[in-house]
């Protein structure tokens, strides 16, 4: 039970981190390409 809760929390945190970093990654790739 605890492991399932931890896995769910880790998945939600990963989604939040990815959503926050994706725009910055796109901007960085665009800058590095120029």
> In the prediction, which pLDDT does 32 show?
81
- The encoded tokens of residue 25 equal 């990654």
**Composition of the chain by helix, strand, coil, percent to 5:** 95, 0, 5
- CA angle 23–28–34, rounded 5-degree value: 130
Q: What is the pLDDT of residues 2-17, one digit of tens each?
A: 999 999 999 999 999 9
Residue 31 above 90 pLDDT? no
Rounded CA gap, 10 and 6, in Å?
Answer: 6
Predicted confidence (pLDDT) at residue 34 exceeds the cutoff of 80: no
Q: How far apart are CA 22 and CA 3, in angstroms?
A: 28
DSSP category for residue 14: H
């Amino acid at each position: 039970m605890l492991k399932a809760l931890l896995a769910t929390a880790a998945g939600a945190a990963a989604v939040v981190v990815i959503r926050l970093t994706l725009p910055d990654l796109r901007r960085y790739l665009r800058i590095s390409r120029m």
